[in-house]
Each structure stands twice: as structure tokens, then as C-alpha cells.
Amino acid sequence: MKTKKESVAKLKKKAWKVFSEYIRLSAADWRGYATCVTCNAIKHYKELQGGHFIPGRHNSVLFDVRNVHPQCIKCNIFLKSNPRKYDRYMRDNYGVEVIEELERLDMENKQFTSKELKDLIKHYSDKLKLL
């Protein structure tokens, strides 16, 4: 009997789920609380989202840890990433060089393979176990 292969879209969703959890949990304290990088609200990591500095979830920077940080739903969704404050956070924490590198990467057209996504899922699942 053949096993059904998961689609790239399904694997991408799974990869995002584990990556986002890693981003939020790695920023959390021992109690599970982390700070929104744009408004400084302190919330349990499960109440936060993985918010992108470069919006649109472009594949080339989708899973770049420098581009995704904990954000509250207000900043990430309702304020559309709160870009002015996010820019200040990025400049203060990474510098202009990293911002420019992310912008260059964002111009690339990236298509994930099933193997790449499975590797990402395993990588961030393993990192989560270490937290």
C-alpha cells in the first residue's frame, strides 16, 4: 500500500508552526512569558505570534530567525506589524547591514522542496526540545 505524500503547502504550514513556536518560546522567560518586540507588551508565548519584519511571508525570509520575532496580535495583525517600531527594534538589535541583507534576500524567488521543509521541521523540533 502506498503512503500519501504531504504537499509542499502542508509541509510549509507544519514548518511555520514549529518555527513560530521556537521563535516565541526561545524569547520567553522560565515561566513562558515574552515581550512583544514592537510595543513591549508582556504575554505568555502562546498568546504571541511570530511577526515578520519584512511583511508578506516571502519564502526567502520566511524562516529567517533575524526576520521573525514575538509580536502581540495587536501589533502583528491590527497594526500590520507596527512597522515604524519594528524598524527601530531591528536597527537597535541587528543594524542596517542585516536589514539590507534581509531586503536583498526578499527579492529572491524561493520555492521550497518537500525535503527542505521536512529538514526545517526536524531542525526546529529538535531546537524546541532543548528549550
- Predicted confidence at residue 2, as pLDDT, reads 57
- Predicted confidence at residue 30, as pLDDT, reads 96
- The letter for the amino acid at 14 is K
pLDDT tens for residues 101-116? 999 999 988 999 999 9
Q: In angstroms, how far apart are the furthest CA atoms of the chain?
A: 55
Provide the pLDDT confidence category of residue 58 given band limits of 50, 70 and 90: confident
pTM of the model: 0.93
The C-alpha atoms of residue 79 and residue 72 are separated, in whole angstroms, by 10
Count the Cβ atoms, other than its own, within 10 Å of residue 28.
19
- Predicted confidence at residue 1, as pLDDT, reads 58
Share above pLDDT 90 across residues of the chain, in percent, rounded to a whole number: 91
